[in-house]
Amino acid sequence: MANLIKPHGSDTLKPLFVTDDSTRSQLAKDAGSMPSVTISSAAAGNAVMLGGGYFTPLTGFMDKSNALSVGASMTTTDKVFWPTPVLNLVPDAGSIKAGDQIALKDPNVDGAPVLAIQTVDAVEKFTDAEIQTLTQQTFGTIDPEHPGVAEFLAQGKVAISGPIKVLNYSYFEKDFPDTFRTAVEIRDEIASLGWKRIVAFQTRNPMHRAHEELCHMAMDRLNADGLVIHMLLGKLKPGDIPADVRDAAIRKMIELYFPPNTALVNGYGFDMLYAGPREALLHAVFRQNMGATHFIIGRDHAGVGDYYGAFEAQEVFDTLPDGALEIELFKADHTAYSKKLKKVVMMREAPDHTKEDFVLLSGTAVREMLGEGKAPPEEFSRPEVAQILMDHYRS
């Protein structure tokens, strides 16, 4: 077995999914007589990530003191580096109290089946001021127009904390059987391939030529054995391309433009936070947990609108104390096709170029072209990938 990078804050991965079938079905039965709460989509995503080992070493949902500590200093109360609060927030906990075992119901699946069982450590209410502070620290803004802020503020102010046992992976396994993978499964696959240096690439969009070349560049410069393209499969903001279409487009690109057995395509079940720098750090934590040694971070990683500086998500890593993370960054500049050099380059590595020397298209322009059934130029998007996207926009 290859000697893989250690999980975050632990010698072993700590998946909270109940693997034993009989135990799991007994818990599902017992859930019927427990107090239950239908949780937010964000909390359901947290449960799925905890279940799959991605949120190692956490054992469940944070209490108020841990969430506030993570907001203020990016460490839990017992000094584990963690960049974003992992909460089960509800508008009202009713009669639920410390010591209870409760069934957490999934808001994203018809009939709201039980997703996890939680042992309640505490039920605590955040004040308005505490929620505002935590929002500002996590997202860098309290603007309700920010999609992540809007989602966070809509959940409620009552935190139900305590360890969880996860019974299923929500809709992700059924809807994305070929793509959804837990951190446990990805680690096992990397080990079986014998990879030692592994680059992870995060995406919530289809990949254009620039992204494809960026992955090749990173693999080349880091002398990596393999690449994991790891896509978000949860909820996005309106107008973003659905996961199944993205999945098809990315697989087509890998099949045609990467050597065999050098790239894995898989995904994780979580909703996008659009939290810029803090989310970039969270992305690095769970990429380390799935076994990646290096992580590509480019311009405006996990950003939205103009809320974050172009390279803030890279710079935040320079502020971390030594040893906070073992995974290393591959810092990327904006990549684009150079008409002069006839290839995709990082713009900072082509100092003799003007803007006119690059093929640059805005997301809006690309969406309009695809919607009209026009393929973007080949320097921007592979024709086979563009075809999948055009079919989506036309339907």
pLDDT of residue 365: 85
Tens-place pLDDT, residues 11-63: 999 999 999 999 999 999 999 999 999 999 999 999 999 999 999 999 999 99
Angle at 333 between CA 314 and CA 75, to 5 degrees: 10
- Annotated catalytic residue, options 24, 205, 299, 367: 205
Give the domains, in start order, of the chain with CATH numbers: 21-173 (3.10.400.10), 179-394 (3.40.50.620)
- The answer to whether the beta carbons of residues 200 and 230 sit under 8 Å apart is yes
pLDDT of residue 2: 54
Q: For 149-155, what is the mean pLDDT? A: 98
What's the helix, strand, coil split of the chain in %, to 5? 35, 20, 45
Please state, for a pLDDT cut of 90, what percent of the chain lies above it.
91
In whole angstroms, give the CA distance from residue 32 to residue 50: 22
User: Mean pLDDT lowest for which of 106-115, 231-240, 371-380?
Assistant: 231-240
Residue 212, CA distances (Å) to 153, 273, 290, 318, 337 in order: 36, 24, 21, 26, 11
Q: How many CA atoms lie within 13 A of 101 on its CB side?
A: 12
Tens-place pLDDT, residues 228-244: 999 999 988 777 888 89
pLDDT of residue 237: 77
For the question of residue 205 being annotated catalytic, the response is yes
Confidence of residue 361 (pLDDT cuts 50, 70, 90): confident
Tens-place pLDDT, residues 175-202: 999 999 999 999 999 999 999 999 999 9
User: Within 10 A of 10 (CB to CB), how many other CB atoms are there?
Assistant: 14
Q: Which two tokens stand for residue 255?
A: 């099949």
Asked whether the predicted pLDDT for residue 115 surpasses 50, the reply is: yes
pLDDT of residue 1: 46
For the question of residue 3 being annotated catalytic, the response is no
Asked whether the predicted pLDDT for residue 299 surpasses 70, the reply is: yes
pLDDT of residue 236: 81
- The answer to whether the beta carbons of residues 98 and 199 sit under 8 Å apart is no
Return the residue matching tokens 């499969």.
233
Please state, for a pLDDT cut of 70, what percent of the chain lies above it.
99
Asked whether the predicted pLDDT for residue 259 surpasses 50, the reply is: yes
Q: How many CA atoms lie within 13 A of 339 on its CB side?
A: 9
- Annotated catalytic residue, options 181, 187, 204, 382: 204
Asked whether the predicted pLDDT for residue 341 surpasses 60, the reply is: yes
Residues in the chain: 395
